[in-house]
Chains A and B, each alone.
Chain A
Amino acid sequence: MGICYKGLTLKEAIDEKESLFEKTGYAYGLKSLELVEQDPAKFMRFQMRLVAACINVREMAKLISANPASLVQGELLFLLANPEGDVTSTSYGLAGHLQSLPYIIRSIADLGFEEDPGINVGDIFETNDALYGAPHNADNYTWVPIYYKGELIGWTVGLNHIVDVGGLQPGGLGTISPNVFTDGFTYPPTKTGTNFKQPRWWELHWKRRTRTEAFNVLDDKMRVAGCVALHDRILEIVEEFGIDYYRKALREIIERERRVLINRIKSQAVPGIYHWLQFTRVSYKGVVGKLFAASNRDWVLHKPGEFHIKSDGSLFMDLEGLSSEGGFHCNGYPAGVRMLTSLGAWPMFAYTSTLNSALMYVEKWNLPPGSMFNPQNPFAATVMSLGEIGGYINMFHNCLSLAFFARGFLEETFPQDGTGVGYGLAGVLKDGFQWAGGDMTLITCWAQGATPYHDGFPAACCQPNPQPDMGETEMGEFLQPTNLNIGKKLVHDYCGHGKYRGGLGIGMCQMIVEPGQSLIMAVFAGAAGMGRGALGMSGGYGGDQDLIVFCHDTNMRQILKEGGSYPTDFTELREWLKQGKLKAGSVERYTSSSPNVLCKDGDLVAMASGARCGWGDVLERDLNRVQEDLHYDWVTPRTARVMYGVVADNKGKVNVAESEKLRKQMRDTRRQRSVDAKDWWKEERQKVMDKGWREDLRNMFADSLKYGKFRREFMGMWQLPDDYAL
């Protein structure tokens, strides 16, 4: 006798859910929506009560948190799932995470939790294990079963992004981790409490296995308090509407919302096949040394995306050709892929006041086994899976933007090539006090990409969190006194250009002050020296890459003693170094994640991210827009001239005649230096025949050529002999 409706076991209930959709094409086989048809207003009222319950609980619980990311930057979510794990309503916040729930519930069903350890009233379960459905171990899930007269009728769930996961590196965004054991504190689904209470041993795990005990304990208290409160609210609603209505309505919510989404796609897009592509890099060579010999190498990661808008309005994403799993930190699992990429679906077509699992029924994915997003090695590291998966959010933005553009819905276009920069740090202060922390400022607030009708707004959006928020320096610095902020600003020229330009990115600059005995920083960045995305929009250029610059052994303290000033972003850092005004013993530059970097007093750290892509041909940019950019110093005169072919006087006043002339010259230059595609093809083909790539690139091609589809395209495009091999 199972715990679900009609005595089904959890596993049977989930199997039934899946087979019903397979057979009928409708969620739960619901060809008709009786409750909706009979009384749409009552149904709406029911649905909105569930949503309100989630939102209210979140507002109540978040204040308990210790962690700025949860409190200010919204890295927190509460939701209600039905017994089968489909989410039926969610609060504000990290909305994407609702996609993970079906995987997590499926996991505990397959693990036989129903018998052992048992699923009872008042039990508290938690996990952060990617193998079982959590995207990565920084995202911790807490869930509580809801029972009504002995029947399991749902789950209340709380999750948030914690500050430190106790990995090889400080913070929650480790960038070096050859296997799951170096990921840090990873726990499979665990019953951490009974009777709505957690025993002390659980708190001890946070104390012993992470660097930020107090934060993590309070976060845990927050998640539990929220789950329990939501549990009670839901039972009230069940009483109000009756269990039969509740049970049936939870399913109709999913199927009705599925139809809403399909409807949006069919009314705004154009069916067909679209392409998206990104390359990134992982550099472990010389960093992990003999300790992890197998991982002591560099990788170029190939991330193709074939995006199908199908005739029935559903979506199919084919990632064949994706690089293989490896001994690095950024493998991921399907749950993580579904979770994070949904963040591209919300703004493009899935925005509704009632987010739920319907999206799971609109998408199909091909994630080849053995590829980095479907690892077959259970010990694959995933601590920063989201960094690599995140790129695919942009596949939704850009492919659908093109589709909406083609259909005439320009206002809905929203190209993005987002990544972000964040860091973890840990140190020992002068008096031997050990501490750690992290920062998400440049991950939780980005610029918009350009659209076909306007420039991207700066500091305006955020893919991971629909409520962008940089947080407050005075709040963050209180937790990281050694990292004194001396700049947080928009950086001129730092964007992708085009007829409409992307929003300017944000630069941060910090001076290390009195770190004491030691301080290490590990900075995550997404771009990696190969650009943000491989494809510009309609002739526009891609957004500028993320940047990290460390200046060690500087004369900063001396400069300040003499009443001097300080550089406020990487461009000033660069100029000061050139002019010799700033002296540095050594300078480290990264466009991808940094290893652990040891910082000393007076060191400078400049980071920048959030620059976004342009749209259209730069030479067609309205002269007035360029003049405005010059006026506000958003772009420099050099860029105006070299990029946009705009001539202006030293006051920034544009000379129209001169500019037209220059633009004509630049078109002539295009004519002169370009060649016919056929000739370019010959040249490029020869390089392919010569195989002159550097090692990491060569490995990438070799790896991807193992996959039939990519091999066909590659061999076909370059007309290579069948025995061509790398």
Chain B
Amino acid sequence: MAKPAFEFLPNAGDEQEGLGDAGIETFRDAPYGSCAREAGQNSRDANLDNDKPVRITFDVLSIPAKEIPSIDTLSSVIDSCFEQVSSEKERDFFDNARLTINKPNLSILRIADFNTKGLLGPPSTRHSPFNALLKGSGVSIKDSETSGGSFGIGKNASFAVSDLQTVLYSTIYQCEEDESLKFAAQGKVKLISHSDLKGEQYKATGYWGGESFQAVTEKYSVPEWMQRDSRGTSIFSLGFRYANDWAERMASSLLTNFFAAVHDKTMVFEVDSGKININSNTIENMLSDESMLKAAEASGARSGLEFARELYRCIVSANASVTILDVPGLGRMRVRILVDKGLPRRIGFIRNGMLITDNLRYFDRPLARFQNSRDFVAVVEPIDDAASKLLKSLENPAHDAFSAERINDGAKRSVAVKALRKLGDLLRETIKDVTGIQSQSSVVLDELGEYFTGEGRGGESSSSTGENDPENYRYSARRKNNKERAGGNGEAGEGQQNGGGNGGRSRTQERGKGKGQGDGKKESFGRDTLIDLKDVRNRIETSKSNGTLRRVFFSADVSGEVKLDISAVGLNSSVNLVVSSVDIGVVSGGGVIVDVSNGQRCSILVSFDEPYEGPIEVRASYAERREVSE
């Protein structure tokens, strides 16, 4: 197969095409943020396994120009375009493009998604997602009517960050016919209409790929940096418009738009080789991160990020009230409202994990002023497909407003207007109920307390800014003293573990908590005297003949025969495990009697009479004390 090459469409009609591509221009104001947002939305729509998050990485590669097949062709086209510019804007663009493409290394922004279906092909089939992305115009291909992006105008955002207005794509998708995994790659260039040295006329649009504007379908026909090993899509913006804070700008946009999807663990992002990780663990911190706020400010989007932070707070707060609205003609909507001083008194509409807008102004319901409300923030989102589907049909291409004018059918438009107005009315009522001042006949004016009391209260009540804050009382938690040295016996703890742990349960006798265990001292436990074990450790060892075994390590500060009792950590109390065999010592009464030397490390291989792979507690007592009668 011939090497992939750049090739421009013939311009038989001698059409004049300039640089002002409406699709790209849409994203010029905030190219980094727009690029991140659109990529996020398209990848989210292609989710493969709903139980796992879609992972999207944003990295800048530095690739030697010689490793980009047919780069000389593109360079020559850019030279031709430079000679044929018709405005200063075009001259500036191509001047910069020539500088960019003549560098020995080219900066390339790579956006790659994982746990996605990839760009479904075949690439040459009309209306396949691959075809819609590369060759569709005004075409919307979607997997679900409730999904987010659909390779509409948003696909142009990747061009807005390319100083060559050149974007390449590679994907691995599953073939519908035989379920085999297929590879496809192709690129697209958007310059100006031009003629070559021979005087042949070409359109502004060119493609990178196989002959006759076809995609490359052999993985090894594309450079290594374009290849993929797993299903998903990679987007490469050639001649990436590098800015020192590109990563923060993209990350702040992802945070602003996808905080809900990140919170519900359906999306994670890694930016700049994993230097910025956005996942459910880190999102709260990232939403307040100074570098993110600064980058958002540089993009004119700081207030958006701050609003997202308050909306996130509403989503996770235990103090938020939740109301389900059944809106005629729309469907079911969930409204979460958090009331607290300083909140912006705004509503965030979220759909498909993405923040869309804070108003319904195109439905004459601006929801902008809440005169009689306490400070609040509210999150509104559809919770059934009907509501999600209708809201999607009302969403504008920039995904930042709802408008019924997007519906062509007059009757449907009328229903939508009525439904959204009703939603606006119900929201006002709900917010009034939750945030309105409760009627009382008398209130104590706590705020005046600070002016008419002694000095005793000062210093303990302060806000996070360090200013006096009579409404909040602040103090620090006290960390409990560690009575135990690493690995020893001691006072039984009180916590419960819900996070995980292996299962497994052995035959047991419930044993109550021993009185006075611990502190590293020898104390009474039942009729035995406990010995302090040091540095207790255990691991599972599997043997083909004996099944699951466990090796237990410990040290003791005594010498002689000791009895070890091993218990499983039960739900409420310890549960004895019955030892069935050991490699050292003897089995006795469900435990082990073993000879130990003061300070010497012991290692015993034990098996239990029933399989158990969970955590244990080990207790030791003097073996001879077993003979003492009660």
The answer to whether A and B belong to the same complex is no
Chain B residues within 8 Å of A, Cβ to Cβ: none
